[in-house]
Amino acid sequence: MRAARVVVATGLQDYAYTPEALCGLPKELVSHSGEYGPLDHFAGRKVFVVGGGASAVDLAWSLHQRGSDVSLVCRRPTINFHPEPLPRKWYSAIRSPNTPIGGGWNLWFYSHAPHLFRLLPEETRQRIVSTALGPFPGWFMTKRVPGRIPILGGLHVTGAEASGKQVRLTAQAADGGARSLAADHVVASTGYRVDISRLGFLDDALKKSIRKSAGSPILSAHFESSERGLYFIGVASAATFGPVMRFVAGAGFTVSNLSRRLASTRGLPENGSASADIRFVEGGG
């Protein structure tokens, strides 16, 4: 098939990030939180969930409910839960306006002005996208997890190896000491990092030709990459348009902007064929 325009909207799955220390072990011993799904097969088994964000805490709670002997392993000494929202005063909207992704003037800017966010210096955009709206578990989990699920805080996992049917972790404690931990399975709940070179359905030569910044495609004001006719939306566009693109809240801006572009005939080749040779590997997603 040939098309004048192709939109890549494949979500997070291809960008799942597993720390190097946990790579190289079989799936029977180490997996990523993005793979689940049913968890019943972990009943009665000892499981470590590495991470301290919402996905790690939610997954650990689900494993606990299904009878797993689960513990959370995280770098921070303690897990910072999102504070419970309080009743707002009349002046709160001025001091910290509500937005679809939280309260505050900075989040208001990210939510309402992605077109202006794109004009910020590249280094500033990268810093904001990597730090804004960090890994905070929901406030309602404070009544479920602490006291029921062990939280092994202040541990940085530095290595992992198979030990029979178990996996043994080596971790460095905050005081500089070493810890050794063993479990039947380890789940890396360590988030996602956009890197379009990991998109297996795109041709290698095409991926190399696309202009990138820290793995993310550099996009025009209409979500178009440096390869004419090839667009990226969703989390892959966050480095250009801001952290709101990591959430459903960014769909409104995306749809209104991109749909106008796709409906326009401006820039289309006269014969309607692709202006760039967009190549996909056979059997892609």
75 and 149 both lie in a single domain? yes
- Give the separation between CA 48 and CA 71, rounded to whole angstroms: 5
Total of domains in the chain? 2
* Residue 113 belongs to some domain of the structure: yes
* Residue 276 belongs to some domain of the structure: no
52 and 32 both lie in a single domain? yes
- Give the separation between CA 65 and CA 3, rounded to whole angstroms: 48
CATH number of the domain encompassing residue 167 = 3.50.50.60
* Residue 278 belongs to some domain of the structure: no
pLDDT at residue 264 above 90?
no
Q: How confident is the model at residue 267 (pLDDT cuts 50, 70, 90)?
A: low
pLDDT at residue 212 above 90?
yes
146 and 74 both lie in a single domain? yes
Range of the domain at 216: 6-14+90-133+193-263
Q: With pLDDT > 90 as the criterion, what percentage of the chain qualifies?
A: 68
CA dist 259 → 134, 219, 253 (Å): 30, 16, 10
What value does the mean pLDDT take over residues 34-45? 91
| CA 263, 264, 270, 273 torsion-angle sign | negative
Give CA 213 to chain center in angstroms: 17
64 and 148 both lie in a single domain? yes
The pTM for the full model equals: 0.82
- Give the separation between CA 1 and CA 12, rounded to whole angstroms: 25
127 and 215 both lie in a single domain? yes
58 and 123 both lie in a single domain? no
β strands within 96-229, DSSP E: 98-99, 102-103, 151-152, 155-163, 166-173, 178-183, 185-188, 212-213, 216-217
* Residue 271 belongs to some domain of the structure: no
* Residue 124 belongs to some domain of the structure: yes
170 and 236 both lie in a single domain? no
CA dist 277 → 202, 268, 280 (Å): 12, 14, 10
